[in-house]
Structure 1
């Protein structure tokens, strides 16, 4: 099931909840972000052209080229790497396989989100604006067709889920709306304080969530709970689940099988995700995760293993 078809079916993907999940959702919103126990390090991508990728991540996204070689380039803020591109692919990203659906770059505040949107619009780069109530987002593809989401977390706008006449959201002002509504770009840009399209993205920008094509949502949902993530929504009837890592915004790892069940990972020659990095705040959290992983390999940079779909993951702790 493709994204657009799914949205038409249930009116949204980011805020999916059952009646049993209402109380946990309210609790999650009231929590302080200090309760986060895990975050994401840099995501590594396989791309076909370092030249095209560099142009995209610097000019369109606004990241700094932090380091580069003949086949690898690192992009991020002034002091931290968020995306690493490897020129190892021979073909563009292709749909129909398990693996990465999209990953999200989160802005630390509304002014910086407006700056991210402004930069993309100023360069006339195609994007899709979506308002999930719990977040504001735009979606765009990199030169190889890998989908990327720019996000501003806004859980304070959420009030409750409305199930009459389909799955909808009531916001904090009492308005009932689609869970994947149209995002008013003009309103977003009202918060723009700096229209310099050449400035480096804000230091507070971070990789905020990953959405994966799972070959089996149930197995992957159980796996990520076993390594420490909190179950937020599990909707097998929609082939969807998502999990949190503490704090007010609980959509940190999302899973779907809309592309088909038991689909393999894409061939290594295709552009896509090479691996992603989960960083636990404490060694104890890391130890608990490793205790529930059947097989892993310890290397100098951390602990390596695969999820049930076959995605490569690096685990570290503070």
Structure 2
């Protein structure tokens, strides 16, 4: 029997392994516009709303900065979702002011800016178009594209807003896009076991998009690093884990039972969360709550 993940399932914080905390903090606060929630000698939690962690940074010893074009599994990019188009325009103005290299695309369902942090961790910052404008094809896949964005329109939306104000508090982790070792294995794990719905079976792109609740995608899965791509070395900068947030403990427990029955190793934590590893050696935190300042 097929499983469909609870529609209220969301994504939570992404933890990144980095080479230099001070360097990354300058980038994430001055250019991206996140704020430091808390910090130790080698770690920092970054937030938009002053309470909820979006990105965790950990400086690792003897770090090797990942190449720009990766040939391993792991992070392609994580994506920060802004509440509206005006906020995306403000981000665009800030990136231009800092002379930051920018990739861009109009995906029809959204408008997106792409960049990389100092350790070549991919970042997307985007704003969705209204769901009423999203279209599906005859196979039920969302119709997406990589058209040029409307640069002038976005900058006009920003108006004279202060570009130093940072990301708005409504910013959330919209989706995560991963390099995988193979799409059949990823489909079996993310759709077959976790129950994410397939919303984009893009064979021509060598990618699979899955989501909860009819979203255009919570997870992008591709084989652009090569079929059978190896896992990165422990010393490589990149993704430590990303987080799936379930609406309640019942949904989480059911998921963990399925994973255990399928022979997947589950690392249970004292706080009720768990960690698992997907077939491409990507580590995932499964929980029922977002990481917040008072946790």
Please state which band the TM-score falls in when normalised by the shorter chain: 0.7 to 0.9
Once superposed, what is the RMSD of the aligned Cα atoms?
A: 2.2
Comparing 152-161 with 208-217, greater Cα deviation is found at 152-161
Give runs of aligned pairs for residues 59-70 of structure 1, distance below 5 A.
59-70=30-41
Structure 2 residue 64 is the aligned partner of structure 1 residue 91: yes
Deviating above 3 A after TM superposition, structure 1's stretches of 4 or more consecutive aligned residues are 155-162, 235-238
Q: Do the aligned residues in 2 keep the contact of 1:79 with 1:203 (CA within 8 Å)? A: no
1:299 maps to 269
1:157 maps to 133
3-state SS in 2 of match to 1:182: coil
1:30 maps to none
CA shift for structure 1 position 193: 5.0
Q: Count residues in correspondence.
A: 272
CA shift for structure 1 position 194: 5.5
Please list the CA deviations of residues 169-188 of structure 1 after superposition, one character each: whole Å capped at 9, or x if unmatched: 6xxxxxxxx81001121111
CA distance in 2, matches of 1:67, 1:47: 17
Structure 2 residue 55 is the aligned partner of structure 1 residue 80: no
Q: Do the aligned residues in 2 keep the contact of 1:129 with 1:185 (CA within 8 Å)? A: no
CA shift for structure 1 position 239: 2.5
CA distance in 2, matches of 1:269, 1:101: 18
Give runs of aligned pairs for residues 94-243 of structure 1, distance below 5 A.
94=67, 95-154=70-129, 155-159=131-135, 161=137, 179-192=145-158, 195-225=161-191, 226-236=193-203, 238-243=205-210
CA distance in 2, matches of 1:193, 1:246: 34
1:289 maps to 255
Change (3 A) 1:261 1:198: same
TM-score, structure 1 as length reference: 0.80
CA shift for structure 1 position 295: 1.9
Q: Do the aligned residues in 2 keep the contact of 1:234 with 1:241 (CA within 8 Å)? A: yes
Q: Do the aligned residues in 2 keep the contact of 1:134 with 1:156 (CA within 8 Å)? A: no
Comparing 127-136 with 150-159, greater Cα deviation is found at 150-159
Q: Do the aligned residues in 2 keep the contact of 1:104 with 1:148 (CA within 8 Å)? A: yes
CA distance in 2, matches of 1:241, 1:193: 37
3-state SS in 1 of match to 2:157: coil
CA distance in 2, matches of 1:263, 1:206: 30
Flag structure 1 segments of 5+ consecutive residues without an equivalent: 1-34, 163-167, 170-177
TM-score, structure 2 as length reference: 0.86
Flag structure 2 segments of 5+ consecutive residues without an equivalent: 1-5, 290-295
Change (3 A) 1:50 1:295: same
CA shift for structure 1 position 41: 1.3
CA distance in 1, matches of 2:183, 2:136: 25
CA distance in 2, matches of 1:98, 1:229: 20
3-state SS in 1 of match to 2:158: coil
CA shift for structure 1 position 224: 0.9
Q: Do the aligned residues in 2 keep the contact of 1:45 with 1:83 (CA within 8 Å)? A: yes
CA shift for structure 1 position 237: 5.3
Change (3 A) 1:158 1:72: same
Change (3 A) 1:222 1:194: farther
CA shift for structure 1 position 102: 0.8
CA distance in 1, matches of 2:97, 2:254: 46
2:292 maps to none
Change (3 A) 1:237 1:121: closer
Q: Do the aligned residues in 1 keep the contact of 2:14 with 2:242 (CA within 8 Å)? A: yes
